[in-house]
């Protein structure tokens, strides 16, 4: 599904009544089946932008269209993985992963169980199927949220730092699983990350954002061959793309740095 973001802006009212420009003049088109990463300093509006595409936050100006239709609220075709896992605390891991399938109601009980088992296996949580979220580590909760989003096979995935809390080895394995799944389904993916390696490895394009106000600084194409393999991470092309993105993220042009807030 194509995503078309045009002239998008978001202003929040701070408690004192002061207006805060979280996003300004965002123009971005994600092609059907494209993986686009958003990277940039904390507070540059990545989550806000993702939530607007998800239909959970209303923009102040501009429009978002998904597959040619304006976004007016959340929809089952857009799977969201939140920065804060957002699991149902009273449900077991299995029930959390099954939730979306049950809501959709188009599969028998045994089919649902098979899909849930397959996805729990994928994220290494089979042994914790009957545990409650509070019994899981942060990384395990995140893997549970990933299994839940994948289980309904959305045609579009909006992922907010989905691998942020998992250990380095699991993270690499989840990146590979994401791309393996993508090779089969060609899901359109918008992927928020702070990790330059991850952005370059996964994406077709990396969108580097800046803050005060939140905006797009530059977009870097990562035209590396697919399917992407472990060895690719060591290739000169990968290393130079990673350096290019790193420079954009860490060395913004001086005139773009606001004196109001320079924290990362």
* C-beta separation of 79 from 150 below 8 A: yes
* C-beta separation of 154 from 78 below 8 A: yes
Q: In the chain, which ranges are E strands?
A: 3-13, 19-30, 35-39, 61-66, 69-70, 78-81, 156-160, 188-192, 205-210, 215-221
Closest separation between CB of residue 211 and Mg ion, Å? 12
- Number of residues counted as binding Mg ion (CB under 5 A): 3
Q: Does 47 bind Mg ion (CB under 5 A)?
A: yes
Phi, psi of 131 (to 5 degrees): -80, 160
Q: Does 44 bind ligand ATP (CB under 6 A)?
A: yes
Q: Does 222 bind Mg ion (CB under 5 A)?
A: no
Angle at 180 between CA 222 and CA 101, to 5 degrees: 120
In sequence order, the 6+-apart residues with CB closer than 8 A to the CB of 251 are none
Phi, psi of 240 (to 5 degrees): -75, -35
Six-digit token string for 124: 């290494």
Closest separation between CB of residue 54 and Mg ion, Å? 13
Q: Does 37 bind Mg ion (CB under 5 A)?
A: no
Give 98 or 161: the residue with its C-beta nearer to Mg ion.
161
- Interface residue with ligand ATP among 26, 28, 30, 47 (CB under 6 A) is 47
Closest separation between CB of residue 9 and Mg ion, Å? 18
x-or-dash string of contact with ligand ATP, 57-86, rule CB under 6 A: --------------------------x---
Choose the binding region for ligand ATP from 27-35, 41-49, 168-176, 240-248 (rule: CB under 6 A).
41-49
* C-beta separation of 208 from 248 below 8 A: yes
Q: Does 199 bind ligand ATP (CB under 6 A)?
A: no
| Residues of the chain by 3-state class (helix, strand, coil), percent to 5 | 40, 25, 35
- Interface residue with ligand ATP among 33, 43, 62, 75 (CB under 6 A) is 43
Give 83 or 203: the residue with its C-beta nearer to ligand ATP.
83
Give the Cα separation of 87 and 133 in Å (integer).
7
Give 37 or 47: the residue with its C-beta nearer to ligand ATP.
47
Please count the other Cβ atoms lying within 10 Å of the Cβ belonging to residue 142. Answer: 27
Closest separation between CB of residue 50 and ligand ATP, Å? 8
Q: Does 215 bind ligand ATP (CB under 6 A)?
A: no
Q: Does 151 bind ligand ATP (CB under 6 A)?
A: no
The site for Mg ion (CB under 5 A) is made up of 46-47, 83
The site for ligand ATP (CB under 6 A) is made up of 12, 20, 22, 42-48, 83, 214
């Amino acid at each position: 599904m194509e995503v078309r973001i045009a002239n998008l802006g978001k202003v929040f009212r701070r408690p004192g009544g002061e207006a805060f420009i979280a996003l300004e003049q965002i123009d971005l088109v994600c092609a059907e089946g494209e993986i686009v990463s958003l990277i940039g300093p904390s507070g540059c509006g990545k989550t806000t932008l993702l939530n607007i595409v998800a239909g959970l936050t209303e923009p102040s100006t501009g429009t978002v269209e998904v597959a040619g239709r304006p976004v007016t609220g959340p929809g089952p075709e857009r799977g969201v993985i939140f920065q804060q896992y957002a699991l149902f605390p009273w449900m077991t891991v299995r029930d959390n992963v099954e939730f979306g399938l049950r809501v959709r109601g188009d599969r028998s009980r045994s089919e649902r169980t098979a899909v849930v088992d397959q996805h729990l296996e994928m994220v290494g949580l089979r042994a914790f199927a009957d545990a409650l979220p509070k019994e899981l580590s942060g990384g395990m909760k995140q893997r549970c949220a990933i299994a839940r989003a994948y289980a309904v096979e959305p045609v579009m995935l909006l992922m907010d730092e989905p691998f942020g809390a998992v250990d380095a080895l699991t993270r690499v394995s989840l990146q590979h699983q994401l791309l393996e799944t993508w090779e089969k389904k060609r899901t359109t993916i918008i992927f928020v990350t702070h990790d330059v390696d991850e952005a370059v490895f996964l994406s077709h394009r990396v969108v580097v954002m800046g803050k005060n106000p939140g905006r797009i600084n530059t977009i870097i194409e990562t035209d590396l061959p697919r399917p992407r393999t472990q060895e690719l991470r060591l290739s000169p092309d990968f290393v130079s793309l990673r350096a290019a993105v790193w420079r954009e993220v860490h060395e913004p042009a001086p005139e773009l740095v606001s004196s109001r807030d320079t924290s990362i």
